A = this chain, B = another copy of it.
């Protein structure tokens, strides 16, 4: 018998069900902007993978933002690139730099050698998921065991993984991966199919371990040309979504797909099988809702740089995002779904007290929105 959720707003909004307020969580909410995160990371030898592969540390940092802020979901502390690391590509994070692969995939032989990794190499992730689920259990006012909030598992999309696997790290122009895509689409498609199979198995194993929602980060889908996006990013994301376990213990496992820079492809994203489409700050939430709000919930989309403005500006901009979506209840009595988030990961230099102002503004204004008469 699973332990009931104390706060299920996030899951309900993902499924376009009534909620008392708009739930919010923040991409990269467990991260360097928190002094307590930096302290734990010190203990782990100042290594990102040292943190992510240690179940106790991963659990500790996952819960840190929840101690500070009344966020509506927890997200597994991990990286989008664990899968290619498990394929043997040798992931590392240099000091102050992005991810690097020691063995990038750049020729026919390297592509041919790629395989879906043994999931035992990702055991540390599943162990962390189970550990975090246990750590989220508390007791309510009546002394009953409850889980504070749901836990989100995640992975990079097949295309986004391929970008890093071919480039060997971040890139400003994606020259190597796009050269392969245009010159050798057969090689690119083999990489993407291996990635899709691996990501599907990886996310399902996270569900087995206890993940209650899944997010696919297609961080670099937006660098593709129209046409190439559909063929090399969205099509493989769709294959992953189609292979996911969507229910456990009678509870739907919502899937969120986020393509940064994907606003132009909103209609197609809404048809990829996900319950929720994540949006960056370039999209007007009201227009997005009008276009696809009856098919999927929307997640987003405050510019993370707003958090560098004074708290009153943070609050005002958060209200503007909520008002752009509008009150989620529709005139016909149904509900559309909005999960408040940033349009990208929170910046490491963000003042934590500005995050407090954000959470307070989202919760209080979204409660007020639900008092207003429903609009068409």
Contacts and interface: CB of A to CB of B under 8 A. Distances in A.
A263 interface: yes
A227 interface: yes
A48 interface: no
A224 B282 contact: yes
Given A173-B305, A178-B308, A222 B282 contact: yes
Interface in A305-336: 305-306, 308-310, 313, 317, 320, 324
A40 interface: no
A283 interface: yes
A183 B282 contact: no
Contact of A261 (B173, B261, B305): B261
A353 to B, nearest CB: 15
A281 B179 contact: no
A347 interface: yes
Contacts of A226: 281-284, 324
A228 interface: yes
A303 interface: yes
A95 interface: no
A245 B13 CA distance: 53
A173 B347 contact: yes
A362 B264 CA distance: 26
Contact of A320 (B224, B227, B308): B227
Nearest to A184: B309
A305 B347 contact: no
A298 B373 CA distance: 43
A182 B310 CA distance: 9
Contacts of A179: 305, 308-309
A229 interface: yes
How big is chain A's contact interface, by range?
35 or more
Interface string A216-246: 0000001011111100000000000000000
A349 interface: yes
Contact of A183 (B229, B303, B313): B313
Contacts of A284: 226-227
A349 B229 CA distance: 24
A308 B347 contact: no
Given A263-B264, A303-B228, A308-B175, A317 B182 contact: yes
A302 B182 CA distance: 12
A124 interface: no
A305 B264 contact: no
A174 B305 contact: yes
A282 B317 contact: no
A306 B182 contact: yes
A229 B309 contact: no
A155 to B, nearest CB: 23
Interface string A168-179: 000001110011
A183 B227 contact: no
10 contacts: A173-B305, A173-B347, A178-B305, A182-B306, A182-B309, A182-B313, A224-B303, A225-B303, A225-B306, A264-B283
